[in-house]
Structure 1
Amino acid sequence: MRRLSTQDQNFKQVFADLLAFATVNDPELLSTVDQIISDVRQYGDAHVLKLTQQFDRHPAHQFSELELSQAELKAAFEGLNTEVRQALELAAKRIRSFHEAQKQTGWTYVDDLGNTLGQKVTPLDRVGIYVPGGLASYPSSVLMNALPAHVAGVTEIIMVVPAPNGELNPLVLAAAYLAGVHRVFTIGGAQAVAALAYGTETVPSVDKITGPGNRFVAAAKRAVFGQCGIDMIAGPSEILVYAEGDNDPKWIAMDLLSQAEHDTVAQAIFITPDEDFLNAVAEAIEAHLTVLPKAEIAKTSIQNRGALVLVKDRTEAIDLINQVAPEHLQLCVDDAQAMSEQIRHAGAIFMGRYTPEAIGDYCAGPNHVLPTSGTARFSSPLGVYDFQKRSSLIMCSQEGVKPLAQAADILALEENLEAHARSARYRYQV
């Protein structure tokens, strides 16, 4: 794992290069995805089935075999052992509770002219949630996408999840049942995104697509944006941990590896002003890699995109954190809450040494679908607000409209929009 110091002459460039990662800029990838979307639009179910057989080696002979029934979801839930079922129910309860606090409501007020202004909040009608199911499957992602949609009041939730060789983790189906997903299709990749966006004979078109996926999914979501909404274009998982010397290096090392084991292009960065502690964490990482089942993935990740960064002090660390705008940020210090006040850009902030990022992935309550690749500079975690939309409300009274109409008349003429001006003028020249 590379070691960097802010005192190195070329640190700024090396650190910038470390952060640079293009998720969906490969022209060949984009061309492939565009063709898949075009073919799904033209051939519908038949093409989605063909690609599902080709890429996922799914044994289905007809498209109807790719949809799961509510009875199958219920059977998966009822088949869980007690311990797993209780953990899933705890996670669902906490996620729902947190997102209930995010619900937005409409409002109105009457201005000093007697006009009523306000905002109406309504849920989306139908959404599609993408759940990974290839190299890894994540029942937690089902809960994190479906429950906020339910809280928002979405009428219909459609889930797509790839099932390699026709096999699927029963826990994913159990989570779909618990979260109240309405329909589940065992399809994935760009073809699933295209089916959700444009609809097929069987898959209904949706108003918005949420959830993480591989680079084909990310590219497809970008391509269909405008036909429907999307939550974000997600890149590889990231974690940045800041800690000082009064921590257990074994804990910090495992926190870093918890994200590195996701993917060979995941990113784990550790920042500290304590060189001895940095060395101890480096040694702990090496020790952990000898026992982790996904050690090869994690090792490749930290070699290619990881870093141990020595800083002069906490102030310098905060500047770097805000530059990175990490998906997951751990502040393993005693005054973490105070330090968090200085963080402007992060997807989720885990405060204190007893708050590992792994808790957030499953059952803390806040959403684990988070902005990556520096996009926390301008975007937010998935939430209820992603499944609601706002309409402006304007109602003018007979007298209250007059000064507004006069102003609109003047401004419209300045923009050479005569019909606008006359439309406003009718309201005060009566």
Structure 2
Amino acid sequence: MEWIKNQDLRFLNKRKLNESSEQEKTVRGIINCVKIQGDAALRDYTNRFDGVKLEDLKVTNEEIASSYQNTSKEIVEIIKEAAANIRAFHEKQKPDSWQDTQSDGTVLGQRVTPLDAVGVYVPGGTAAYPSSVLMGAIPALAAGVEKVVMVSPPQDNGTVADGALIAANEIGLTDIYKVGGAQAIAALAYGTETIPKVDKIVGPGNQFVALAKREVFGTVDIDSLAGPSEIVVLADDSADPKWIAADLLSQAEHDPLSMAVLVTPSEMLGKAVESEVESQLAALPRKAIAERSINDFGKIILVEQLEGGAAVVNQLAPEHLEVIVEQKKEEKILKAIKHAGAIFIGPYSSEPVGDYFAGPNHIIPTNGTARFGSPLSVESFVKRSSIIRYSRQALEDNAAKIAGFARYEGLEAHARAVEARIKEC
């Protein structure tokens, strides 16, 4: 791990989405082909990229039943309990409509309505990500979205991973399709003979998925252009170096571009964590990936005091932040933290607790976008309409001001639209 003692954070620039013009051209070609050829293009790309020939793009009830047969009851129960926790958390996020009646009879307010249709992209292929199903779909369902469509690349056996199918079935999803990559994003954005068009697309994916989401933004809404995962641990000497090392590696194993950073005023803790990372890394099944991540983006940032560490955290604006300090210092440090996607407080709040089970969403802003972004939530799946009911008295009192404002901006028709009503009163 690289030591940084001058708070030089230029390494962050190396983690941005650096697409090539060739990749952009490829993605645009895929999107255009899906727009024109629909399902035929989806089958062709699935055969070409995933090595699977499909007749039916939609997952069948038989495939869902088979997923339960292939999965232990223990895992099924864990998925059910995680889903309950995630739903309970997101149910508390529902925003309310409101109206306010003023003394002159004017009514102003806000109306909150759910989106009609949402697409959830779930990474797949050789892996199973039931947590991505739960985190992407449950807030949409809690918001009241009527149609939630799930897409995920097929495995070699021609269907979606068992865990993902179980998670989808447990929360009531019925529109599940065996397609991934940029072609799946195009299908959700524009619709095909089989896959319905949606209003918003959420969920993580590879670089081609991210580029496709960027390309269709405007036709549909998207959650974000997610980058590689990241974790920052702000810790003092009260922290256990073994636990910190394990948490850093939990993100490093995601991707060679994942970032794992310890911020601490304790050089002794930093050295102990560095040693533990090397030791634990040797036994990881995904050692090759985690090792590249640690070598390139594993950092130990030494600060003079914890308050300075909080300032560094705000510059990093990490996806995941763990704060492991003496309990009496927690409140002061938390008040100083302004930018972080999810904050894990105390030694027992390991980052995977939030990834899978606690309830808050794990689709969180990355690459410093926590400076202005928020985790996926119920609010991500609703829209607001302003309500304006002006009374006759209010218009008479304010018409001259409104017309004057309009004329100041050179919009005579605006002014006359208001004055016409006054003349008729």
Query: TM tier, shorter chain?
Result: over 0.9
How far residue 24 of structure 1 moved from its aligned partner, in angstroms, is 5.0
Map 1:22-41 to 2 at 5 A: 22-23=16-17, 25-41=19-35
SS in 2 for 1:51: helix
2:234 corresponds to which residue?
242
How far residue 86 of structure 1 moved from its aligned partner, in angstroms, is 1.8
Structure 1 contact 328–350 (Cα < 8 Å) conserved: yes
Aligned-partner residue type, residue 152 of structure 2: V
Please list the CA deviations of residues 324-348 of structure 1 after superposition, one character each: whole Å capped at 9, or x if unmatched. Answer: 0000000011233442221110000
1:174 corresponds to which residue?
166
1:220 corresponds to which residue?
212
1:163 corresponds to which residue?
154
- Give percent identity, aligned residues only: 46
Structure 2 contact 155–161 (Cα < 8 Å) conserved: no
Please list the CA deviations of residues 176-196 of structure 1 after superposition, one character each: whole Å capped at 9, or x if unmatched. Answer: 001221211111111100000
Aligned-partner residue type, residue 163 of structure 2: L
How far residue 51 of structure 1 moved from its aligned partner, in angstroms, is 0.6
How far residue 84 of structure 1 moved from its aligned partner, in angstroms, is 1.1
Answering whether residue 90 of structure 2 is matched by residue 96 of structure 1, we say no
Distance in 1 separating the partners of 2:366 and 2:246: 21
Choose 361-370 or 66-75, whichever is displaced more.
66-75
1:274 corresponds to which residue?
266
How far residue 71 of structure 1 moved from its aligned partner, in angstroms, is 4.8
TM norm structure 2 = 0.96
SS in 1 for 2:343: strand
Map 1:4-403 to 2 at 5 A: 4-6=4-6, 11-12=7-8, 15-23=9-17, 25-60=19-54, 62=55, 65-77=56-68, 80-165=71-156, 166-333=158-325, 334=327, 335-403=329-397
Aligned-partner residue type, residue 228 of structure 2: P
How far residue 78 of structure 1 moved from its aligned partner, in angstroms, is 6.5
Q: Which runs of 4+ in 1 moved over 3 A?
A: 77-80
Distance in 2 separating the partners of 1:31 and 1:405: 53
Structure 1 contact 24–218 (Cα < 8 Å) conserved: no
Distance in 2 separating the partners of 1:76 and 1:70: 10
SS in 1 for 2:405: helix
Query: Residues 187 and 146 (structure 1 numbering): CA distance in 2 closer, same or farther, change over 3 Å?
Result: same
Please list the CA deviations of residues 14-43 of structure 1 after superposition, one character each: whole Å capped at 9, or x if unmatched. Answer: x22345422154322212111111111111
SS in 2 for 1:307: strand
Query: Residues 428 and 358 (structure 1 numbering): CA distance in 2 closer, same or farther, change over 3 Å?
Result: same
Distance in 2 separating the partners of 1:425 and 1:86: 66
Structure 1 contact 242–272 (Cα < 8 Å) conserved: yes
Aligned-partner residue type, residue 136 of structure 1: A
2:409 corresponds to which residue?
415
Choose 17-26 or 116-125, whichever is displaced more.
17-26
Choose 406-415 or 78-87, whichever is displaced more.
78-87
1:426 corresponds to which residue?
420
User: How much is the aligned-residue C-alpha RMSD, in angstroms?
Assistant: 1.5
Query: Residues 377 and 141 (structure 1 numbering): CA distance in 2 closer, same or farther, change over 3 Å?
Result: same
Please list the CA deviations of residues 208-247 of structure 1 after superposition, one character each: whole Å capped at 9, or x if unmatched. Answer: 0000101111111111011011011100000001111122
Distance in 1 separating the partners of 2:128 and 2:330: 32
- Unpaired runs of at least 5, structure 1: none
SS in 1 for 2:393: coil
Distance in 1 separating the partners of 2:30 and 2:276: 45
How far residue 77 of structure 1 moved from its aligned partner, in angstroms, is 4.1
TM norm structure 1 = 0.95
Distance in 1 separating the partners of 2:399 and 2:46: 58
Query: Residues 341 and 134 (structure 1 numbering): CA distance in 2 closer, same or farther, change over 3 Å?
Result: farther
